[in-house]
């Protein structure tokens, strides 16, 4: 009886050892902020919007604004695979004269975009 219980325990442990949990992948957007000379910009405020109207009125952001790291980027996670509008500012610099719209994000991937502020 003890051998049977031990055998069952071993089989149970082996089944856990060889069972891998499903990898949870979400759609994310990595925004890297650069100046017009191509230098990364630490401390830039990045806000993401779902619609052009919200972007233009600066209302209903997808989440709280994020500040770029010392490597010049932020990551927004758990997004829908769609087009987003990005507002970036740092002091007197912003992206109002350039790129403000992403491509449609690919589902389950970390999508990347560079935004230049002037």
DSSP codes of every residue in 29-96: EEEEEEETTS-B-TT-EEEEESSHHHHHHT-SBSS--EE--TTSEEEEEEE-SS--EEEEEETTEEST
Residues 66-115: pLDDT tens digits? 999 999 999 999 999 999 999 999 999 999 988 899 999 999 999 999 99
Residue predicted with more confidence, 25 or 103: 103
Are 27 and 78 in contact, with CB atoms under 8 Å apart? yes
pTM of the shown model: 0.79
The confidence score (pLDDT) of residue 2 equals 55
Burial of 20 (0-12, 13-18, 19+ CB in 10 A): exposed
List b or e across 71-81, with b for residues whose CB sees 16 or more CB atoms inside 10 angstroms: ebbbebeebee
Computed over every residue of the chain, the mean pLDDT equals 87
């Amino acid at each position: 009886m003890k051998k049977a219980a031990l055998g069952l325990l071993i089989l149970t442990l082996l089944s856990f050892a060889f069972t891998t949990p499903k990898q949870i992948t979400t759609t994310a957007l990595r925004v890297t902020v650069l100046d017009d000379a191509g230098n990364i910009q630490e401390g830039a405020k990045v806000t993401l919007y779902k619609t052009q109207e919200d972007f233009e009125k600066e209302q209903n952001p997808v989440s709280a604004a994020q500040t770029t790291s010392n490597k010049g980027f932020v990551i927004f996670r758990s997004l829908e695979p769609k087009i987003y509008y990005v507002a970036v500012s740092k002091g007197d610099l912003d992206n109002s004269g350039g790129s403000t719209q992403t491509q449609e994000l690919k589902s389950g991937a970390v999508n990347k975009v560079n935004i230049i502020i002037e």
